[in-house]
Amino acid sequence: MDLQLKDRVAVVTGASKGIGLAVVRTLLDEGARVLAVSRSSGPELDGPAAGAGDRLVHAAEDLTDPLAPARAVARAIEVFGGLDVLVNNAGGPPPGVTLPRFGFLPLEDVDWAAMFEFNLFSSIRAARAAIPPMLAAGGGAIVNVSSGNAHRPMPMNVDYNAAKSALNSVSKALAEEFGPQGIRVNTVSPGPVRTAWWTEEGGAADVLAERSGTDRDTVLNEGAPQMMALTTGRLADPQEIADVVALLASPRSASTNGADFAVDSGFLKEI
């Protein structure tokens, strides 16, 4: 299916690995031009090295800097001449933080502030920068990567879950306000995804392995799917999330606005 994304301009945050990198590759495969935003780059985000030529440009930005999202949007317009798609993917553990964390009382104000800066305010600031040029161009698409945990409050990662719930609320409000003007805003809510958050040394799998007295591979292949009651019995692959993001970014989804899509291995059971 042609997603009609050829030559459209997209900004993707959190682009250096995991879901973000999969989104970048998918949009490039569909012919889009992509500004990939992350703190650090690599061969995958170098246009010529990645085989994307001048259709892929990296912007080195730390999205906990309040000015970074606007700089990234301005850079995309400078390089590519406009903006059609914003994918707010940056999120998860803020720099220097390891998740999961357990319980409410250990969290200080600084923990809450850092979590909301990275998982909510960076997306708000990027949308605030992206919407005016999209309005001037007659429309666009914003896809916010949320989390299944936004729908299932629990004492594990309570600050992260709250930030993603807030992101869902903001996304619905933006969809209602700007949908009549041609800007669609939707969210994708992954469950556990086999990314560096889980797999890297000291990551979520290691934290849970230590807590349960097992090892990383057992957590990834058995423990986490069982603990989270994943219907498919496995963590999702980043590409599976990227495919849904690309569809929502596409004009083929012209009547999809204010929706939330669970790509979560059957994590959410609620109607």
Residues known to be catalytic: 160
Give residues with Cβ within 8 angstroms of 230, minimum separation 6. Answer: 191, 192, 224, 264, 265, 266, 267
Integer-rounded Cα radius of gyration of the chain: 18
Q: Which one-letter DSSP state was computed for residue 45?
A: G
* Letter string b/e over residues 176-185, b meaning 16 or more CB atoms within 10 A of that residue's CB: eebeeeebbb
Q: What are phi and psi of 33, to 5 degrees?
A: -105, 130
Is residue 30 helix, strand or coil? coil
263 vs 247: CA distance, rounded Å: 13
Q: What are phi and psi of 270, to 5 degrees?
A: -70, 150
Whole-angstrom CA distances from 162 to 68, 147, 230 are: 23, 10, 22
Query: Which class for 84: exposed (0-12), middle (13-18), buried (19 or more C-beta within 10 A)?
Result: buried
Q: Which one-letter DSSP state was computed for residue 121?
A: I
Q: Which residues are 185's β-sheet partners?
A: 142
